[in-house]
């Protein structure tokens, strides 16, 4: 969506506009204030609900986990002798009797043999119970009811030294779980397995002692989505909750806590609720709090009336606060305006600083984050171009080498027809090499990797060297290069980079001079700088094109330049090099009358 802010242009009259608008059109700010108030109310209300539900869930999760962990803890037995023989039968009976007396939730406890041995002439197999106490056998079970548990997962896991906690199963006494724990000797060897059946009625009491507002409730689901406990007995059902999306996500291991996890949905009992939940990973259970929406949102209507009263007060206060508000609003907006101008120019380093303590400060922080993001994107782009250009350099150079070897006859004779095509490919490859080199130069500059080693040097030697190298090219086009090498002072520059600048500028002068012509190179001392002029008699550049001439990838597009090759990066690179050597570059041109490119460099202090 695009908004038109022409009416709200930043000018000296903005403060007056805000003043009169605040005084005479107070309804507008009140509407905005009311909207923000209701938005904030709803937001904070959601936070409050999330906090209440989260606290209840966390509290009950700790209580449930603590209930089961306490029972599991007493099953962790260790004897102080090093022998591998099982605990004596009398000791087993004593331990089991004490376990049942001290743990009301324990329905049954038994010792299981892990070592095959002979007792009273009978060979006791591995995995068979050797002692058992339960609510059914409070004085201990007889041998004829002992069962072999060797094939049960609980025994197999405990026999390897691990504590086993099984899934929930349901009986007439309520939900139960099986546990099994290894009995270790002084050498940490398993000499017995201690198993038990825990009645989860204690867990049900924990959940039933939960309150959430006037009508909210809490319930606990097992791994398969069946109800273990519910804080309201009337809502207990025996169907699985796995088809319900909220419970299904929780049972998959997701957490639904905080304002981000909180959800509004239709409960399985047919009422709109605000739900939150947690996954108890140790047991694979889900604990869910659901607060009926009509009860949870009851407080909002009361606060709404208070907001209306507050709005009336604000309406009166707006008349007296108009001047203050105008100054407070205009100043940060002007700061943001300056910031947007800098960003539009590609300057991302300077951040805006707004200290108003309100949403405008938040806007300033958001603007700074946006600027940082744009800067990072620019850096990533520059890094990509640098890597791509660097990696392309090797294969295109190799192609050039192999093509040259073919043309030289190194690999054998080449027919005239094939030679013509290979030469065309070689020319195209040379253009590609030039493009890759230019891209690499640009990437180095943009990424801050363009190294400049400034020293005092005689620019005349640089010019003479470049002119000598480019003379064969100018002679082919019947273009005369005139260099007026008067006595001039030395300059502060990088020898290699300065040569690149001269090759580019003089090469362009040759390239854009159609037919015969003349190129004049001269120097001029001005203030503390030495200015070098490169004047040609070429096709010239339009005023409009001169404005974009030093931009990246820009090339003058005319009928005369259509067949002239180039990447559009040369002058951009030249400008970057000159500026990094503390100089400046500019152009003066007129279509049909040639161009003069000039650049300045600091004079070396002798």
Q: Tokens representing 298?
A: 């009851």
Residues 279-309: tens digit of each pLDDT: 998 889 999 999 998 888 887 767 777 777 7
Q: Which residues of 42-68 are buried (b: 16+ CB within 10 A; e: fewer)?
A: eeebbeebbebbbebbeebbebbeebb
Whole-number percent of the chain with pLDDT over 70: 76
- Which pLDDT value is given to residue 550? 81
Query: Can you tell me the mean pLDDT for 14-37?
Result: 68
Query: Can you tell me the mean pLDDT for 195-210?
Result: 91
Nearest CA-CA partner of 595 in 519, 531, 522:
519
- Which pLDDT value is given to residue 4? 38
Of 13-27, 477-491, 502-516, 563-577, give the lowest mean pLDDT range. Answer: 13-27
With a cut of 50, say whether residue 61 has pLDDT above it. Answer: yes
Confidence of residue 414 (pLDDT cuts 50, 70, 90): low
With a cut of 70, say whether residue 12 has pLDDT above it. Answer: no
- Which pLDDT value is given to residue 273? 92
- Which pLDDT value is given to residue 193? 92
Token pair 């161009």: residue: 595
Of 153-157, 492-496, 552-556, 562-566, give the lowest mean pLDDT range. Answer: 562-566
Q: Is the pTM of this model over 0.75?
A: no
Residues 427-440: tens digit of each pLDDT: 665 656 556 665 55
For residue 448, give the 3-state DSSP assignment.
coil
- Which pLDDT value is given to residue 520? 92
- Which pLDDT value is given to residue 512? 85
Query: Can you tell me the mean pLDDT for 546-574?
Result: 71
With a cut of 80, say whether residue 68 has pLDDT above it. Answer: yes
- Which pLDDT value is given to residue 81? 83
Token pair 């007056």: residue: 16
Confidence of residue 1 (pLDDT cuts 50, 70, 90): very low
Query: Can you tell me the mean pLDDT for 103-108?
Result: 90
**Cα–Cα distances in Å, from 383 out to 370, 387, 434, 445, 449?**
20, 6, 19, 11, 10
66, containing H or E segment: helix 27-74
With a cut of 90, say whether residue 386 has pLDDT above it. Answer: no
Nearest CA-CA partner of 74 in 109, 46, 43, 113:
109
Q: What is the DSSP string of 245-282?
A: HHHHHHHTT--B-HHHH-EEEE-TTSSEEEEEEEEETT
Of 36-50, 393-407, 475-489, give the lowest mean pLDDT range. Answer: 393-407
For residues 68 and 197, the answer to whether their CB atoms sit within 8 Å is no
- Which pLDDT value is given to residue 175? 92
pLDDT averaged over every residue in the chain: 80
Of residues 538 and 333, more confidence is placed in 538
Of 87-96, 239-248, 386-395, 481-490, give the lowest mean pLDDT range. Answer: 386-395
- Which pLDDT value is given to residue 8? 40
């Amino acid at each position: 969506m695009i908004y038109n802010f022409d009416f709200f242009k930043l000018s000296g009259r903005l403060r007056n506009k805000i003043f009169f608008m605040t005084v005479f059109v107070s309804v507008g700010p009140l509407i905005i204030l009311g909207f923000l108030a209701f938005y904030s109310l709803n937001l904070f209300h959601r936070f409050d609900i999330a906090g209440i539900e989260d606290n209840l869930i966390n509290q009950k999760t700790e209580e449930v986990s603590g209930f089961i962990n306490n029972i599991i803890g007493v099953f962790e037995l260790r004897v102080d002798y090093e022998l591998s023989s099982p605990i004596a039968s009398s000791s087993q009976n004593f331990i089991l009797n004490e376990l049942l007396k001290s743990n009301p939730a324990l329905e049954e406890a038994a010792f299981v043999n892990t070592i095959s041995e002979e007792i009273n002439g009978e060979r006791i197999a591995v995995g068979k119970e050797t002692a058992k106490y339960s609510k059914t056998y409070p004085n201990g079970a007889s041998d004829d009811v002992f069962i072999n548990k060797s094939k049960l997962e609980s025994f197999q896991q405990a026999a390897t030294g691990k504590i086993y906690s099984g899934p929930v199963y349901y009986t007439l006494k309520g939900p139960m779980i099986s546990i099994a724990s290894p009995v270790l000797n002084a050498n940490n060897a398993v000499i017995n397995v201690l198993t038990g059946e825990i009645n989860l009625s204690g867990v049900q009491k924990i959940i039933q002692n939960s309150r959430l507002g006037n009508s909210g409730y809490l319930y606990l689901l097992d791994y398969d989505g069946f109800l273990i406990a519910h804080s309201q007995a009337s809502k207990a059902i025996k169907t699985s909750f796995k088809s319900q999306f909220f419970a299904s996500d929780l049972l998959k291991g997701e957490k639904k806590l905080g304002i981000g996890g909180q959800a509004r949905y239709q409960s399985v009992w047919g009422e709109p609720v605000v739900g939150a939940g947690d996954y108890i990973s140790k047991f694979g259970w889900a604990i869910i709090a659901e607060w009926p929406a009509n009860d949870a949102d009851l407080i909002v209507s009361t606060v709404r009336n208070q907001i209306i009263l507050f709005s009336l007060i604000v309406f009166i206060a707006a008349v007296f606060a108009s001047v203050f508000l105008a100054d407070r609003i205009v100043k940060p907006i002007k700061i943001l305006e300056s910031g947007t101008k800098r960003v539009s120019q590609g300057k991302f380093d300077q951040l805006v600083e707004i200290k108003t303590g309100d949403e405008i400060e938040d806007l300033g922080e958001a603007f700074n984050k946006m600027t940082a993001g744009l800067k990072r994107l620019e850096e990533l782009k520059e890094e990509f171009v640098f890597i791509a250009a660097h990696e392309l350099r090797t294969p295109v150079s190799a192609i050039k080498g192999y093509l040259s070897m073919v043309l030289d006859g190194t690999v054998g004779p080449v027919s005239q027809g094939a030679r013509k095509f290979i030469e065309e490919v070689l020319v195209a490859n040379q253009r590609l090499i030039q493009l890759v080199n230019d891209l690499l130069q640009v990437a180095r500059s943009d990424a801050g990797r363009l190294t400049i080693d400034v020293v005092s040097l005689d620019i005349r030697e640089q010019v003479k060297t470049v002119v000598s190298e480019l003379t064969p090219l100018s002679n082919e086009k019947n273009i005369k290069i005139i260099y007026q090498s008067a006595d001039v002072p030395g300059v502060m520059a990088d020898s290699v980079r300065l040569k690149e600048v001269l090759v580019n500028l003089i090469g362009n002068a040759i390239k854009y001079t159609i037919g015969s012509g003349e190129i004049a190179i001269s120097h001029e001392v001005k203030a503390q700088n030495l200015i070098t002029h490169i004047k040609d008699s070429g096709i010239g550049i339009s005023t409009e094109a001169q404005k974009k001439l030093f931009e990246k990838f820009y090339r003058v597009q005319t009928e005369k330049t259509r067949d002239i090759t180039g990447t559009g990066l040369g002058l951009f690179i030249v400008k970057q090099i000159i500026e990094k050597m503390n100089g400046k570059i500019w152009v003066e041109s007129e279509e049909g009358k040639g161009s003069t490119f000039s650049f300045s460099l600091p004079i070396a202090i002798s």
